[in-house]
Amino acid sequence: MTDLPALDLSEPFSGGRESREPRLLAGLHALTQWHHGHCEDYRHMLDAIWPDAVHQTPASLAEVPFLPVRMFKQLELASVADSAIVKRLTSSGTTGQQVSRIALDAETAALQVKALAAITQDVVGRQRLPMLVLDQQEIMRGKGALSARAAGILGFANFGRYHTYALDEHMQPRWDAIDAFIEAHAQGPVLLFGFTWVVWQHVLQQAAQAGRRLDFGEKSILIHGGGWKKLAELQIDNATFKQRLADQLGIRRVSNYYGMVEQVGSIFMECEAGHLHTPAFADVLMRDLHTLKPAQSGAIEVFSLLPRSYPGHAILTEDMGTILGCDDCPCGRKGRYFHVHGRIPQAELRGCSDVRAAS
């Protein structure tokens, strides 16, 4: 256990900026000090690059020292003893790519569960709903570190009951199981969950090819995340995606979220107005793509009060976004809301002379 104070995760969207910012800054500073004291690698980086940060409470988010997201690929950073680590998460990098490795202790893992619950219940309500997972059950059976996809399914499974997996081990739709799920539950509220690309490729496209039109009912809601990279290549935007889901699968409400394995739990959920929202225990800042100074649009920096077992409370991602507003979204939620544009083009330039795949 860390000796950091308890964290109040309730009512993540009720307090406005004046009430949340001081608490957020104080909490982030406490985490900076904690990690500086307990993670040697983090200390070396901070002492070289942010020499004053550990002594001074930040006056703004921009003054909170961050790590570039790729540091979690290059190093396994932990601020707790090895024996305290209960779970290791990895990002879902494709073959050959380096993956992030995130060390969780019981305390941080528990905070992630609670935070995700607070955010998700704001969308789906407190009741556990019949849940269709748009993925294969086999992905949960991997050994060792938990992949981001498996961790995501595991996290959201807490909000459902009567879990049904929509895909078989070959990523083909199990139409019988899907039909049975609709038959049994679609007259009431149902929750669907999946990764954006999997939903598109293995559910929507397959349904279209098989000429199947489904109807998950008036109270159906799909939560999906994992990034738009592949859909962006196909020039499929959020509106098109939603329309196709409504037409082909009869899913009434669709909520995308922006999140990453480096900050599991504090995700940014899309509201009815189509905006991504920051909960009270997290925030975002855009940094100009050339100067890295705070800006309206730029590289997305994400903040979260959850990471205690690893120094991931302020991370500069390689995604681009724009701040849309604060406290005044038409959906009524307080806090900052924003839009994600996608990846910085070719952010991972490869090494020196070996730029070309050889032979």
| CA dihedral angle for residue 170, residue 175, residue 179, residue 184, rounded to 10 degrees | -20
Give yes or no for a contact between 258 and 276, defined as CB atoms under 8 angstroms apart: yes
Taking CB under 8 A as the binding criterion, the range among 54-62, 88-96, 267-275, 338-346 that sits at the site for another protein is: 338-346
Give yes or no for a contact between 26 and 305, defined as CB atoms under 8 angstroms apart: no
Residue closer to another protein by CB (options 210, 347) is 347
**Residue that has been written with the tokens 């050959």 in this structure:** 96
Give yes or no for a contact between 90 and 261, defined as CB atoms under 8 angstroms apart: yes
97 sits near another protein (criterion: CB under 8 A): no
209 sits near another protein (criterion: CB under 8 A): no
Taking CB under 8 A as the binding criterion, the range among 96-104, 109-117, 265-273, 345-353 that sits at the site for another protein is: 345-353
The CB-of-354 to another protein minimum distance in angstroms stands at 4
The pair of three-digit structure tokens given for residue 278, joined into one six-digit string: 């920051």
Q: Is 315 exposed, middle or buried (0-12, 13-18, 19+ CB in 10 A)?
A: buried
5 sits near another protein (criterion: CB under 8 A): no
For another protein, the binding residues in 128-187 under the rule CB under 8 A are none
The closest of 57, 62, 69 to 102, measured between CA atoms, is: 69
Nearby residues of 132 by Cβ (< 8 Å), 6 or more positions away: 163, 164, 165, 166, 178, 181, 190, 191, 192, 193, 216
- Near another protein by CB under 8 A: residue from 177, 292, 295, 326: 292
Q: Which residues on neighbouring strands pair with residue 300, listed in sequence order?
A: 286
353 sits near another protein (criterion: CB under 8 A): yes
- Near another protein by CB under 8 A: residue from 22, 49, 81, 98: 49
The CB-of-29 to another protein minimum distance in angstroms stands at 19
Nearby residues of 19 by Cβ (< 8 Å), 6 or more positions away: none
For another protein, the binding residues in 55-74 under the rule CB under 8 A are 67-68, 70-71, 74
94 sits near another protein (criterion: CB under 8 A): no
211 sits near another protein (criterion: CB under 8 A): no
53 sits near another protein (criterion: CB under 8 A): no
331 sits near another protein (criterion: CB under 8 A): no
Task: Tell me which residues touch another protein (CB under 8 A).
Answer: 41, 44-45, 47-49, 51, 67-68, 70-71, 74-75, 289-292, 299, 316, 318, 320, 344-349, 351-359
